[in-house]
Amino acid sequence: MGKEDHHSDSEISGSESVKPANGVEEDPEIALLAKGLEKRSASNVVRTASARIRQGLKFISKTDGGAGWDAVEKRFDEITASTDHGLLPRARFCECIGMKESKEFAGELFDALARKRNMHCDSISKAELREFWEQISNQSFDSRLQTFFDM
């Protein structure tokens, strides 16, 4: 009698082809290409996120609390002079806080600060902006770190 080759799925050697659950074998070249694209995509996402965080940290590091508030308040008054209710729209938050060069980051910052306060709105009052500014301009490491975790 000859020996029969019986083995479980976990004993399959690396050289054998394994069929996915749908029964169709995947082309090894396509699988390799897909893995490469996934790595490149993940790398780009990390690089982009890292650049945005650095830019945000630079901005937050430049803010000088009370002295900076005067300029922010002046821009708020100028921007909201033409609005019906004296509210600052989210779309103009970047301009108001002096972060025109990164509208996307400023929008995410606005969303994080609003979310932390359970606010579900697209515009804020001067008092709310002052709260946002106090958190943005807080120079403590813990406060900055918390802001980025909130994002």
Sign of CA dihedral 54, 59, 63, 69: negative
pLDDT, residue 97, reads: 93
Determine contact, residues 126/86, Cβ cutoff 8 Å. yes
Q: Which two tokens stand for residue 89?
A: 């729209």
pLDDT, residue 114, reads: 95
Cβ neighbours for 95, distance < 8 A, ≥ 6 positions apart: 75, 79
Q: Give residue for tokens 């918390």.
A: 146
pLDDT, residue 148, reads: 77
Which residues of 1-151 form beta strands (DSSP E)?
88-89, 123-124
Tell me yes or no: is domain 32-150 CATH 1.10.238.10. yes
Q: Where are the domains of the chain?
A: 32-150
Query: Which residues in the chain land under pLDDT 70?
Result: 1-67
pLDDT, residue 124, reads: 97
pLDDT, residue 16, reads: 47
pLDDT, residue 26, reads: 58
